[in-house]
Structure formats: C-alpha cells, structure tokens
Homo-oligomer: A and B are copies of this chain.
C-alpha cells in the first residue's frame, strides 16, 4: 500500500485531560512544541470545557497563545458550549471539536444529556463556528462498546454520524472508547458509516486497552480511512469510561504506517523525544511498545 495518512495528535488534550496530578502550563506548551518539531501538523491542543470537571485543561487559552494556534490551522480545541466557542474564537483556533456518543447511557454519564439533546445543542454552535470560518470535527465515542450498556450496533453509529455531517461537521472521529473491539467490528462500523458519509471525512480514534489498537488502526487504513487519532506515549484514558486505558500511541501508529509504506510526514525520533518529555517533565511514563523498544 502507498499513500499518506494524517495523524491527529490528541495527547495534549485527550491524553492529558485525565491526568491525576497538575501539569504546568509550561510543560503543556513544551510538549506541543516538541510535537510540532516532530512534524505533527494536526493536533488537539486543549479544550474549553468546565474547569471544575476537567481542571487539567483550564489553561488552554494561555497554551494556545503561547504555541501560536492563531497561525496553525491544524490546531484543534474541544468545546462543549457557546462559552467555549467564544473562547476558541478569541484565541484564534481554526478548528473545534464537539463530543457525543453512539450510546445514550455513555452520553448521559459523559456529557450529561442524551445523544439527541447533544446534537440539538451542537447545531447552533456548529452554525456559529462555520460562520466565523471555524471548521468542526464531531467525535462519536463508544462506537462498538459502552461501559454502561454493553455492545453498540454499527447501525446506532450511522444516524449520529449523519446528523453531525448534516449540521456542518467536516470530519467525524469514530471513537472506540473501551479498546475492546477486534478488527472485524471496527470494519463493520466503518463500512456502515462510510455508506452514508464520505470515508475521507472519517477519522479512526482507537484505544489500546486490550492490545488491539494497532491492528484496528491498520484495519481502518486498509478500508480507506486516511485520518488517525493517536496520543504521544500512549497518553490518556477517559475519566468517564471505567477500564479504558490510553489512546493508541502515536509512535506505534507512525511505526506501523511507515513500515507499511504509508507516509505521515512525522519523524519517529522526534515523536519519541516528545514522549520522553512527558516522562521527564510531567511524570507520565510513556507506555508504548515502540518507546520501550527504542528508548526503554
């Protein structure tokens, strides 16, 4: 296989948001700078959400100003409401992300409302964002399994993806939150969604809890997905998803893709430097196999 895949580095937001200890603003900034230096072009740099619920992201505005998000169209920020959108626009990000689920039980626990209510809430936000020249990604979590309600059918993901596209999201990130699925279930979701949404608009967002992350990313790429979310060092774990460990590690994914002849534009050694930085300055030891093999 040839071609290229765009890595969306989610470590600075999805990876750090659940960290149990405080993280210095300077360390967040340093991490983003190292990721840029490694060639990362798209990155989730933070979120404007409740600082009470997610205190690690409270300094996102400061971080964005320091890392020059205003001049980086690849920088993305998660928001939950109109107040967050105002902050994003004030700090000059060109892409926002909104977050819902394919399971109502998960949506209720995670964002405090049903899927339908979340979509109603997002619609005016997306409209305002687009009018301001801000692109929107829609996250759909729990695409195969929900920690509260069990298995999720591919057919439950399709209407959420369609609604997000119809309201103006340019990209849908399919989140396999619990890291339980094997490739055949990933394939079933992608095929179901891609029958209604252009596959170019899909991103794969997988976790490595059961060791299936690399195989699942490869399955998605084999099927034509060309955008993959990953977190440097395998950072992460969802605070609202019991048992979910980190995102697939960016370095494992870059190693896979380069080995498969697929370009990412990212320098693996630079990525490992960024992973090492997490350990050195934030006390978060990288858990990826490639890091252990090369720097362990």
Chain A residues packing against B (C-beta within 8 Å) = 1, 179, 181-185, 208-212, 214-215, 218, 243, 245, 249, 252, 255-256, 259-261, 288-290, 292-293
Contacts and interface: CB of A to CB of B under 8 A. Distances in A.
Given A183-B260, A293-B243, A212 B212 contact: no
**Total identical chains:** 2
Contact of A212 (B208, B214, B249, B292): B214
A245 B293 CA distance: 8
A245 B218 CA distance: 22
Contacts of A215: 214-215, 218, 256
B255 A293 contact: no
Contacts of A260: 182-184
Contacts of A292: 245
A89 to B, nearest CB: 39
A211 B286 CA distance: 13
Max count, chain B CB within 10 A of own CB: residue among A183, A214, A249, A288:
A214
The 5 closest A-B CB pairs, nearest first, are A182-B259, A211-B289, A215-B215, A211-B252, A214-B215
A293 B179 contact: yes
Given A182-B260, A212-B214, A245-B293, 18 more contacts: A1-B184, A181-B259, A182-B255, A184-B259, A184-B260, A184-B261, A210-B252, A210-B289, A210-B290, A210-B293, A211-B249, A211-B288, A211-B290, A212-B255, A214-B214, A215-B215, A215-B256, A243-B293
Nearest to A289: B211
A14 to B, nearest CB: 19
8 contacts: A182-B255, A182-B259, A183-B218, A183-B260, A211-B252, A211-B288, A212-B214, A215-B215
Given A184-B1, A215-B214, A209 B179 contact: no
